[in-house]
Amino acid sequence: MTFLQVTLFLLEGFKLSLLIFAVTLLCGAPLGLPIAFCSMSTFKPLKAVSKVFVWIVRGIPLMLQIFIIYYVPGLLFEYPLFAKIDRYFFLEYGISDTGRIVAVLLAFAINYACYFSEIYRGGIESISQGQYEAGYVLGLTKSQVFRKIVLKQVIKRIVPPMSNEIITLIKDTALANCILVCEIIKQAKELAATQALVWPLFYTGVFYLLFVGVLTIVLGRIEKKLDYFKS
Amino acid sequence: MAFLEIKNIKKSFGKYEVLKDISFSLEKGEVLSIIGSSGSGKTTLLRCINFLEFSEEGTISVDGETIYDGGSLHKYTDAEIRENRLHFGMVFQSFNLFPQYTVLENVTLAPKLLKRGTTEEIEENAKRLIEKVGLSEKINFYPCQLSGGQQQRVAIARALAMNPQILCFDEPTSALDPELTGEVLKVIKGLKGKDSTMIIVTHEMDFAKNVSDKVIFMADGVIEEIGTPEEVFDNPQSEKTKNFLQKTNEI
């Protein structure tokens, strides 16, 4: 196989890595918000449920969570739910991992939502009470205070930890190969097995590096944009 | 009936009684200074007046209208509390400017959100107030580019922008370097007039003596002494007041 052929073959896998990355970010980031608000709720039962949920999700290896989400519904109900969803949504994109990709996306979104929620919570709780009070004494509503005063300060504070988590995410997508989703590492292993080529496995690192490079630049710009004020 | 009437305010945090039956009144245009050692309840009293804390008992009346009754069973809604707060302005010890907004935006934010006029009117008024506190040339600066004294002056302009009937200051110079307190005190003094009623919690005794029409000395959650600056500073009746003033004079 030529270098170009290997590159294209690996790129095929990296597309799937990027899909997992994008969907996790797009679903996990918003999903983290309600979890964060539940964790800060003054209603004790809700807070407790949320805390336990976050504890479980953050406490179990992501790989194990992928296994659980992929295998448990089938074991319990003998209904190939994920395969059905998979055929419906993903087949036309040429991804034929029956149910696997759906299970992976679900596991990733839930897992990262929990990590994000803790970042949000930390960011929100780090804003001094004085900022809220300054808004209240001016006669603003709670929602105005949050949207117009607190939110931007929270965003500024969570950009660095979010960047960290986002960079970790692209590398974590490699975990999908534990249930044989054809992401880039799985593709490279395929080459090792069928073509007796080992070097593509190491070559995959270049893909990650390039992507993380782009991410670093983009995230750095966002951070810089919020540099105009100190909070 | 006086312009501001505070009657029998009581406030506890858990078992700890911070305010034990506080009553006083203030006429329109008067300046009241509240002095006393830390932990005597001065700040809590100011926070109760601004509804950042809620007293369990007692009433607050402004201009003849009882706006708050802690003892009543009435449960105040968020809207009522906001309405009540608008009678008062508050300047905090730690300024609490909004860091992501410029000086001008800090002053215009609340009037704009609460639709207190057209954008032009609000901005014009804000510029006038910023000039009043002597910061016209800093109008587009962010708080992090200002000194503590300048930040506090912006905070004063911000409070004035909502046109409060009574302006409260919670130790406005306590977080400032000594050389910066003067500029802030000067601005506060400049606000004195027949229409501006002010309550100032302060540790600046000379300032309190100078600027006030009335002085309250608080100790352990009660008003130990109340009177004109001359009465309280030059001829204190209570032992606690004498002790306190002696200690502040020693330094």
Q: What are phi and psi of B84, to 5 degrees?
A: -65, -40
Closest CA to A155 of A119, A191, A108: A119
Please report the pLDDT score of residue A75 as a whole number: 79
Residue found under tokens 């006030």: B212
B157 and B130 Cβ atoms separated by less than 8 Å: yes
Alpha carbons B71 and B10: distance in angstroms, whole number: 10
Beta-carbon contacts of residue B244 (< 8 Å; ≥ 6 apart): B35, B36, B37, B217, B219
Q: Using CA coordinates, name the residue in chain A closest to B114.
A: A140
Average pLDDT, chain B: 93
Alpha carbons A207 and B229: distance in angstroms, whole number: 76
In DSSP terms, B169 is beta-bridged to B91, B200
Alpha carbons B221 and B38: distance in angstroms, whole number: 11
Smallest CA–CA distance, residue A140 to chain B, in Å, is 7
In a domain, B60, yes or no: no
pLDDT tens, position by position, B156-201 = 999 999 999 999 999 999 999 888 999 999 999 999 887 889 999 9
Smallest CA–CA distance, residue B136 to chain A, in Å, is 20
Contact status of A141 with chain B (Cβ, < 8 Å): yes
Helix, strand counts (H, E) of chain B: 9, 10
Please report the pLDDT score of residue A107 as a whole number: 96
In a domain, B246, yes or no: no
Smallest CA–CA distance, residue A223 to chain B, in Å, is 14
**Pair type for strands B57-62 and B4-13:** antiparallel
Angle at which helices A151-172 and A3-39 pack, to 10 degrees?
140
In a domain, B148, yes or no: yes
- Sorted by where each begins, the domain ranges of chain A are 3-228
Three-class SS state of A222? helix
- The shortest CB-CB distance from A137 to any of B85, B99, B109 is to B85
- The shortest CB-CB distance from A149 to any of B90, B98, B142 is to B98
In a domain, B111, yes or no: yes
Beta-carbon contacts of residue B164 (< 8 Å; ≥ 6 apart): B86, B87, B88, B89
CA angle at A214 for the pair A213 and A219, rounded to the nearest 5°: 100
Please report the pLDDT score of residue B168 as a whole number: 96
pLDDT tens, position by position, B21-76 = 999 999 999 999 999 988 899 999 999 999 999 999 999 999 999 999 988 888 89
Contact status of A130 with chain B (Cβ, < 8 Å): yes
Q: Write the CA distances from A40 to A48, A121, A125, A140, A222, integer angstroms.
A: 10, 7, 9, 22, 27
- The shortest CB-CB distance from B52 to any of A136, A149, A153 is to A136
N-to-C CA span, chain B: 40
Alpha carbons A92 and B114: distance in angstroms, whole number: 52
- The shortest CB-CB distance from B92 to any of A130, A142, A153 is to A130
ipTM above 0.90, yes or no: yes
Mean pLDDT of B224-229: 94
Number of residues assigned to chain B: 251
- Greater confidence (A225 vs A83) lies with A225
Chain A from 147 to 166: CB within 8 A of any B CB:
148-149, 152-153, 156
Contact status of B50 with chain A (Cβ, < 8 Å): yes
- What share of chain A has pLDDT > 70, as a percent? 92
The two tokens of residue B247 are 């200690």
Residue found under tokens 């709670």: A142
Q: Do B143 and A229 touch (CB under 8 A)?
A: yes
pLDDT at A94 over 70: no
Q: Using CA coordinates, name the residue in chain A closest to B142.
A: A229
B139 and B130 Cβ atoms separated by less than 8 Å: yes
Please report the pLDDT score of residue A91 as a whole number: 56
Three-class SS state of A64? helix
Please report the pLDDT score of residue A97 as a whole number: 54
- Superfamily classification of domain A3-228: MetI-like (1.10.3720.10)
Total CB pairs under 8 A between chain A and B:
72
Domain count along chain B: 1
The two tokens of residue B245 are 């003033």
Q: Which domain holds residue B140?
A: 97-163
